[in-house]
A = this chain, B = another copy of it.
């Protein structure tokens, strides 16, 4: 399982931090990678040659690890094959949630309480994931319930599921959001959400570092 400790600070901060660990780029044989990309796109060496401006023989040799391409050549490969350069030596996707699936039925998430929010953490069975989704019931009614801005690494997506909230941010005017409305923002910018409806509002939050 994932985070045990910092759970108590700012929930969303916890959330973001729990993802800190990963993201190392383990480089991999460039030849196999290139061949995989080319064949996946159903290109012959000849066609790849045309697109990249490199000789057929050169491509063959790279694919068979007979030579180590120069950076210049790698750039030609990337632009010619319309891929990002790191794709040439990066595993298709470092193991994050590989082949995994985690269902969270309504109300079955792991709950986490603070004075301002009541969080229901979702998909907690999968660690190392890129996104951290959770539903929150918003108790807070004003900035003062927090005392200061909430701020943390990453980006956040927020969808109002029920009720109406107001999103306060450091650089923008407050904005009211009703059920169905959503907002995407940089979480390093001070932000908080308060409820402005009769009952506490319910929102979905997804954070990514």
Which residues of A does B touch, CB under 8 Å?
A: 1-2, 20, 23-25, 27, 30, 37, 40-41, 43, 68-75, 78, 81-86, 89, 92-93, 95-107, 122-123, 126, 129-131, 133, 153-155, 157, 159, 161, 167, 169, 171-172, 175, 177-186, 188-189, 204, 206, 208-209
Contacts and interface: CB of A to CB of B under 8 A. Distances in A.
Contact of A155 (B84, B129, B167): B129
B123 A85 contact: no
Contact of A85 (B75, B89, B95, B184): B89
A172 B101 contact: yes
A102 to B, nearest CB: 5
A40 to B, nearest CB: 8
Contact of A189 (B101, B171, B175): B101
B71 A186 contact: no
27 contacts: A1-B81, A2-B82, A27-B78, A68-B70, A68-B73, A69-B70, A70-B71, A71-B71, A86-B86, A92-B153, A96-B186, A97-B184, A97-B185, A99-B171, A101-B172, A102-B183, A102-B185, A103-B167, A103-B183, A104-B182, A105-B180, A122-B182, A130-B155, A131-B206, A133-B157, A133-B159, A206-B206
